[in-house]
Amino acid sequence: MPCVDGRGQLNEMAKKLLSAMADGSSLEQIAEKTGLPLYRIRSGTRELAEAGLVESANETYVLTEAGRAAMKPL
């Protein structure tokens, strides 16, 4: 299930992932915060990175400016 649809709308999983990454988190930390399985975290973060909403540095995922903007209505 894609995190971001063709209209740029985030699904519930994407919202959980972005919220968990607000302060920067590893994949394992995101899994702990969200309760989602690691395989879903991996695919979701990959999709969010491709959409330009998150980026990874030293195995820590952080929100980009676009990711922070996407979180504002949440």
What's residue 21's pLDDT? Answer: 93
What's residue 73's pLDDT? Answer: 64
Phi and psi at 56, nearest 5°, equal -115, 135
Kindly report the CATH number assigned to the domain that includes residue 36. Answer: 1.10.10.10
Residue 35 lies in a domain: yes
| Domain range enclosing 45 | 12-71
**Domain count of the chain?**
1
What are the structure tokens assigned to 17, written together? 């992932």
Residue 21 lies in a domain: yes
Query: Dihedral angle at the C-alpha atoms of 49, 50, 53, 54, nearest 10 degrees?
Result: 10
State pLDDT tens for residues 19-53: 999 889 999 999 999 999 999 999 999 999 999 99
Residue 4 lies in a domain: no
Contact 70, 21 (CB under 8 A): no
Residue 1 lies in a domain: no
Residue 48 lies in a domain: yes
Whether the per-residue pLDDT at 74 is higher than 70: the answer is no
How far apart are the two ends of the chain, measured CA to CA in Å? Answer: 20
DSSP sequence for 27-38: HHHHHHHH---H
